[in-house]
Amino acid sequence: MTRVLVVDDEPQIIRALGINLRARDYDVLTAATGREALAVAARHRPDVVILDLGLPDLDGVDVIRGLRGWCSTPIIVLSGRSDSGDKVEALDAGADDYLTKPFGVDELLARMRAVSRRTTAEDATPTYTFGPTTVDLAARRVTVEDDSRLSEVRLTPTEWHLLEVLLRHPGKLLTQRQLLAEVWGPGYENAGGNLRVYMGQLRRKLEVDPARPRHLLTEPGMGYRFEPRERSSAGQEDPLAGRR
């Protein structure tokens, strides 16, 4: 059973998430403060942490840094803060994904499944198939199926490195800073133009419609995400809607 730690200072959120997650056979732990969250996580080792940034004692970003000091448990941030700077700060601190309140439980569950897949994928021999494209990172080979015929796609070393980082974190929102540091190294923190150029090249080679990508996605103002599955149009009605 997947163990989830929900950290929020609003009793209504704690209660609603507890009911929804337990109904889907999750083992739910809760905490109302940052210090309590760190203590519960140390004792019970959750599989996923759902964390509000606006806690009464510690800023949520400090809780993320505290968790990342000793564990790699996936962290999904929930917050009423809509500014992209807060989101980027949380992601750079080590959060895996971010949802703004109000949010839908179906979307939260999808994000939880995505970060869980990402954790499993990090230890797997990586072959990824999305749309007509298959990427074998071990063999460093990309093929695209078109009219039942396979054709091989050539990637430059930089395209390979960028694609590998994205694919090894399926569903995870990676900030521009994270990608630039991983692919280009120190000194390229402000080279966002490089990133846009190479993402465009990957889309032209791997997406069915590069102008409307379905798998190599942009999160405006924050970064990029590899989405293995096409996004569905889930309904917005939800018991948590309208809260902060």
Q: Where are the domains of the chain?
A: 3-122, 127-226
Q: Which residue has the higher pLDDT, 244 or 224?
A: 224
* Range of lowest pLDDT (10-14, 89-93, 214-218): 89-93
Query: If you average pLDDT over residues 120-134, what whole number do you get?
Result: 72
Which tens digits make up the pLDDT trace of 25-37? Answer: 999 999 999 999 9
CA dihedral sign of residues 8, 12, 16, 18: positive
* CATH level 3 topology of 3-122: Rossmann fold (3.40.50)
CA distance 153 to 37: 47
* Percent of the chain's residues with pLDDT above 70: 89
Confidence of residue 239 (pLDDT cuts 50, 70, 90): very low
Which tens digits make up the pLDDT trace of 130-179? Answer: 989 999 876 788 999 887 788 999 999 899 989 988 988 888 889 998 89
Count the alpha carbons within 13 Å of 109 in the hemisphere toward its beta carbon. Answer: 15
Angle, in degrees to the nearest 10, between helices 84-93 and 176-183? 40
Q: What is the pLDDT of residue 181?
A: 85
Q: What is the pTM of this model?
A: 0.62
* Percent of the chain's residues with pLDDT above 90: 48
Confidence of residue 118 (pLDDT cuts 50, 70, 90): low
Confidence of residue 238 (pLDDT cuts 50, 70, 90): very low
Q: How far is CA 68 from CA 21, 91, 121, 126, 230, in A?
A: 24, 12, 19, 25, 30
CA distance 196 to 200: 6
Local structure of residue 131 (DSSP, 8 states): T
Q: How far is CA 151 from CA 27, 146, 203, 211, in A?
A: 46, 8, 16, 21
Report which of 8, 97, 15, 85 is spatially closest to residue 54, judged by C-alpha positions.
8
CA distance 49 to 34: 12
Query: If you average pLDDT over residues 196-216, what whole number do you get?
Result: 94
Q: What is the pLDDT of residue 230?
A: 60
* CATH level 3 topology of 127-226: Arc Repressor Mutant, subunit A (1.10.10)
- Residue 211 pLDDT > 90, yes or no? yes
Q: What is the pLDDT of residue 119?
A: 60
- Residue 240 pLDDT > 70, yes or no? no
Query: If you average pLDDT over residues 236-244, what whole number do you get?
Result: 37
